[in-house]
């Protein structure tokens, strides 16, 4: 009768280990969205549940794409935009967005600046990232939205964060 007890205990321990190791873990990320006047970026700190192996950097950009939770803030990433990938090399985050970030953008130099630096300032909250290189569908563009230069890595702009 005791022969079956050990295999049952081992199965229960394995199930318990799997359950505990696969539970999502909370991570705090700081996202930057536009203020109501489209003058500054304001931080929104958010708790994100990460699945095992999920990158907090990817989660931060996905949350930025979802938009702000605070009704006093405005989205900076156009509707329909998808994150296609992020690769970090030598302190630079190469962030690949779907074409919607370009074609669905509302335009204007102020809107373009806030979009650019909401991504850059969000990602440079992570110590391993000092700058961001934007890609659209895997390609670098001289100017994604027509005003600012986006064909080289862009560093943090603390002066855009609201006082």
Cα first-last separation, the chain: 72
pLDDT, tens digit, for every residue of 58-111? Answer: 999 999 999 999 999 999 999 999 999 999 999 999 999 999 999 999 989 999
Cα 8 from Cα 101, distance rounded (Å): 53
Q: Tell whether the model's pLDDT for residue 1 goes beyond 60.
A: no
14-18 mean pLDDT = 64
More confident residue, 95 or 1: 95
Strand partners, 161: 41
Asked if 95 contacts 123 with a C-beta cutoff of 8 angstroms, the reply is: yes
Strand partners, 134: 95
Name the token pair of 128: 């391993």
pLDDT, tens digit, for every residue of 34-56? Answer: 999 999 999 999 999 998 889 99
């Amino acid at each position: 009768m005791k022969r079956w007890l050990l295999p049952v205990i081992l199965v229960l321990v394995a199930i318990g280990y799997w359950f505990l190791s696969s539970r999502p873990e909370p991570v705090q990320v700081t996202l930057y969205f536009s203020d109501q006047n489209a003058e500054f970026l304001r931080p929104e700190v958010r708790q994100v549940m990460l699945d095992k192996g999920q990158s907090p950097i990817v989660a931060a950009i996905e949350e930025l794409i979802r938009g702000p939770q605070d009704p006093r803030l405005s989205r900076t990433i156009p509707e329909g935009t998808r994150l296609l990938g992020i690769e970090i090399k030598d302190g630079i985050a190469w962030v690949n967005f779907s074409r919607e970030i370009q074609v669905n953008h509302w335009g204007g130099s102020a809107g373009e600046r806030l979009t650019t630096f909401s991504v850059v300032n969000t990602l440079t909250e992570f110590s391993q990232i000092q700058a961001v290189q934007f890609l659209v569908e895997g390609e670098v563009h001289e100017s994604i939205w027509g005003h600012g230069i986006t064909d080289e890595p862009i560093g943090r702009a603390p002066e855009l964060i609201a006082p």
